[in-house]
Structure 1
Amino acid sequence: MTEVKPLVLDVDGTFLKTDMLFETFWDGLGRDPVATLGVLARNFRRPERLKAELAAIAPLRTDLLPVNPEIADLALRSRMAGREVVLASASDRVLVERLAADYGLSEEVFASDGEVNLKGPAKAEALVAAYGERGFDYAGDAAVDMPVWERAENALVVGRVPSARALIARGRNVVELPGGWSPAALFRALRPHHWVKNLLLLLAMIVSLSFDLATLVPILWGVVAFSAAASSIYVVNDLLDLEADRLHPTKCRRPFASGEVPIAIGMAASAALGLLALGMAAAINGAFFGVVVLYMALSLAYSLKLKRMRWVDVATLAALYTIRVIAGAAAGAVAVSIYALIFVFPMFITLGCVKRLTELTLASNNERLPGRGYGRPDRGDLLNVAGLGTVGALLVFFLFSISEQGRMLYPATWVLWLAMLPMAIWLVRMVMLGWVGKQDYDPIVFAMRDRFGIGILMITLGLMFQAAGLWGKWFGA
């Protein structure tokens, strides 16, 4: 009877649709950024030690890591047929053993151990020592697996590996399996639907009534720069939130959490977009460049720490929205009343509370949200703060209307007061939609798609233009 040879599976990119080294790095950054960066600096040229120390800082939940469905199905069918299925990886042994246990695979694993980086030729030698020359089949996904494929009986190639064609040319048995990633999934990871939030840069132009091309054009370029900066940070935020997203009912489908896009690709895209944003900002003017740097620094602090702190996260979200208004003023070189800036902050406090209210309303239990400081019992407090934010925004708007700049820009003060009514209706409606769970997870994105709400905002804007006398100036009415 012919002995059945074991099926040996690479882990990163083969059995898993992710890489455990990058997973531990980003999980470690979220848990203890100082220690993680210290480990990286000390062991940058010693990958075996780097992997071991990162695994100690970030004990991954290997059961949540996204698996390649084709390989997982192959492993299951092989086990049911009585075949031994073994994991062999350059990742740290502790994590590989845990992953094998999660999926009922062989207790015998081959992995890096803090002393040896089990990759390429080292992995090939270990497998030949255990099973003999051509005593196993091996599945891998990269050119670094070539030394192992050359010494295996059958080569299972996941995704496109051009160098694996050499095996076919030599008459070896090669089985090609689906894998890889798509640019469309990467584009989705940049959250292009969130770019509409950067239209807030136009608010400075609208409030100051500076309707000319010399103001509009640099602001529009600023919108593009802010979109690049925001997408750069969105990628970082998603990489820091991998475990929390995988525990979320809808965020688990995000490209990095689901394994649709490799973490390394996301890191490269984030760096490129960040550099693009800074370059464009510097080309617009120095003030705008400073605002973009502030936005990116505060966004990074939010992703690393602040979003996990109760109330601080809501205040930070409001600050990030307010910075967009300041950025519009800087890009267009327009003077904006301090009242206008103070007004938008409590308004965005309200919308920040709406964001959390929506998440809690749609939560399936009373436990704290993964990676956040709130649970469903906090809904009442969030509602109260949202109410205070609404009142505060309306009060500041009223003070603006009677200020010297307000009376100069909007002579018909009573019409400006009238505009407060639809403004209040819009804010209260947003809060109530969040309370009953009929909001999007991001209220600004929801507002840009909400036709009824857009109608209310247009009425508000129309009344403000009437107070400024613009309708008569434009149309002679």
Structure 2
Amino acid sequence: MSQAREAALVVDLDGTLVHTDLLIESAFVLVRERPHKLICLPGWLRRGKAAVKDEIAARAALDVAHLPYNRELLDFLTAEKQRGRRIVLATAANQRYAHQVAAHLELFDDVLASDAHTNLSGEHKLAAIRELLGDVPFDYAADHDDDRAIWAAARETILVGAKPSTDRWATSETHVSRRIEREPSGVRTWIKAMRLYQWSKNMLIFVPLLASHELLDGKTLLAAVLAFIAYGALASSVYLLNDLVDLSDDRRHPNKRHRPFASGTLPVAHGVMAIPVLLLIAALIAAFLPPVFGAVLALYYLMTLAYSMGLKRMALVDVLTLAALYTLRVIAGGAATGIPLSFWLLALSMSLFLSLAMAKRCAELILVEAGQTSGGGRGYAASDIDALRSLGTAAGYASVVVLALYINSPDITSHYRHPILIWLLCPVVLYWISRIWLKTLRREMTDDPIVFAARDTGSRICIVLGAAIAIAAAL
């Protein structure tokens, strides 16, 4: 038997076999499904890291079938297994998850993992490997500096997505037989994760300026721009958190499985670090704006957290919350600039945004009906599509009624010299609402309706027409 066949192949799990960290993932599952258990965390921490992992694993189930596995490494392991090589999974992850992964892949002869008492990393892992293999030589595949002691004892080193400093150390101190590179998470990956394209929804902050004809006032415009950036940073932190909480659902979704965290392109640990940085940026910007804006920003954050942690799985409550979150952007614009919001603007916003929220949910249900996604526990069934369509179109057309009532009110004369021209907005809004719903039912609504409108040619034409009508009425 050759030396390669005699040596066992020992493989790490977190960051090596899978492009993720199972402890962080399981912690977010616990936050999502059993948030009340977080009060136990201080007691678990006093017992050590191994106890924390074990307690979380006992309460948080992971979908190991859809983890972001390292396909190149899996192909290598499969080839070695077919050659009859002994393969060992040795990981600091909890034994429950390790055995589930091993059972799913059917590649490993042995599994070494952390239990309630021992965190199997570094020297502890090396001792467990030696106890299992005895004098049998082994090659070790891993990614982290914590694995240096094991690489030093191994016959050959296999680097999997290791940092440059780790690679340099391994090259000088061990025999590196193979390198499996990991695609670096660059600026584009972060832009995708932070959903910068979703910042277009924050353009609603400028609605009060448009409605009051103060868009060209420098001081007011600067306040709105600062509010826009603060809202964007806060929203991005929520998107990161939401993606971390929804990893298992996203990986089963035909489109969302390509998101940076779900696909493993971006390490989940980086997301955990980025969230407080974005929150700090939002808070610092808010400090330069009126306190009422900070209060609206805080309310928005609390509502988005409530939405992410549970409200989005409650039928009808979810769409009402989404409509409120859209409307809060308009309110934030008024709070940042000091522009008072009219009853008409708020009534129009709530009706219109409720329609858009229902269109968003209806688009997701259409995918469920087509069998392209499971629905992610949203609280709806495919049979609810007709009801949502009726409610959503009714809410959309109600916004046109509000607009018509505003045109007929005495308030309009304070802003427009020729208010009768505003009647032309009614068919434009009717067309746009109808277009949104037609696109939804045709399965062409692949994004948030506000984001869709920013990209859709027909919607852009409606925006230009609406602006032209408003300007003509004001002159």
Judged with a 3 Å threshold, the aligned counterparts in structure 2 of structure 1 residues 133 and 154 are, in CA distance, closer, same or farther, namely: farther
CA contact (8 A) 1:156 1:174 kept: yes
Judged with a 3 Å threshold, the aligned counterparts in structure 2 of structure 1 residues 178 and 84 are, in CA distance, closer, same or farther, namely: same
Residue of structure 1 aligned with 2:148, choices 142, 146, 150? 146
Match of 2:194 in 1: 190
Matches of 1:170 and 1:230, distance apart in 2: 45
Instruction: Give the superposition deviation at 1:152.
Output: 1.2
Further displaced range: 400-409 or 378-387: 400-409
> 2:47 aligned with 1:42, yes or no?
no
Instruction: Give the superposition deviation at 1:411.
Output: 4.2
CA contact (8 A) 1:21 1:51 kept: yes
Matches of 1:417 and 1:335, distance apart in 2: 24
CA contact (8 A) 2:160 2:179 kept: yes
- Residue by residue, what CA displacement relative to the aligned partner does 1:66-115 show, whole Å, maximum 9, x if unpaired? 10112111111111111122111111101100100100022520000111
Secondary structure of the structure 1 residue equivalent to 2:178: strand
Matches of 1:433 and 1:135, distance apart in 2: 62
The one-letter code matched in structure 1 to 2:60 is: A
Judged with a 3 Å threshold, the aligned counterparts in structure 2 of structure 1 residues 174 and 39 are, in CA distance, closer, same or farther, namely: farther
Matches of 1:170 and 1:223, distance apart in 2: 51
Structure 1 gaps, min length 5: 471-477
Matches of 1:404 and 1:451, distance apart in 2: 35
CA contact (8 A) 1:426 1:457 kept: no
Matches of 2:181 and 2:223, distance apart in 1: 46
CA contact (8 A) 1:368 1:376 kept: no
Instruction: Give the superposition deviation at 1:431.
Output: 1.1
Instruction: Give the superposition deviation at 1:391.
Output: 2.6
Matches of 2:319 and 2:461, distance apart in 1: 27
Further displaced range: 38-47 or 444-453: 38-47
CA contact (8 A) 1:346 1:390 kept: yes
> 2:447 aligned with 1:447, yes or no?
no
Match of 1:166 in 2: 169
What is the aligned-residue RMSD (CA, Å)? 1.7
Residue of structure 2 aligned with 1:205, choices 205, 209, 222? 209
Secondary structure of the structure 2 residue equivalent to 1:75: helix
Residue of structure 1 aligned with 2:226, choices 221, 233, 240? 221
> 2:391 aligned with 1:389, yes or no?
no
Match of 1:423 in 2: 429
CA contact (8 A) 1:420 1:460 kept: no
CA contact (8 A) 1:88 1:111 kept: yes
> 2:330 aligned with 1:325, yes or no?
yes
Structure 2 gaps, min length 5: none
Matches of 1:14 and 1:365, distance apart in 2: 32
Secondary structure of the structure 2 residue equivalent to 1:236: helix
- Residue by residue, what CA displacement relative to the aligned partner does 1:429-459 show, whole Å, maximum 9, x if unpaired? 1111111111222111110011121112221
Instruction: Give the superposition deviation at 1:171.
Output: 5.5
Identical-pair percentage: 34
Match of 2:443 in 1: 437
- Residue by residue, what CA displacement relative to the aligned partner does 1:134-191 show, whole Å, maximum 9, x if unpaired? 6211111000011111111111111234245334334534532212631231221011
- Where do 1:106-145 residues align within 5 Å? 106-132=108-134, 135-145=137-147
Residue of structure 1 aligned with 2:269, choices 259, 264, 267? 264
Secondary structure of the structure 1 residue equivalent to 2:330: helix
The one-letter code matched in structure 1 to 2:201 is: K
Secondary structure of the structure 1 residue equivalent to 2:445: coil
Further displaced range: 40-49 or 12-21: 40-49
Judged with a 3 Å threshold, the aligned counterparts in structure 2 of structure 1 residues 400 and 368 are, in CA distance, closer, same or farther, namely: farther
Instruction: Give the superposition deviation at 1:269.
Output: 1.1
- Where do 1:7-26 residues align within 5 Å? 7-26=9-28
Matches of 1:89 and 1:265, distance apart in 2: 21
Judged with a 3 Å threshold, the aligned counterparts in structure 2 of structure 1 residues 181 and 30 are, in CA distance, closer, same or farther, namely: farther
Match of 1:242 in 2: 247
The one-letter code matched in structure 2 to 1:359 is: E
Secondary structure of the structure 1 residue equivalent to 2:158: strand
Matches of 2:318 and 2:285, distance apart in 1: 28
The one-letter code matched in structure 2 to 1:41 is: P
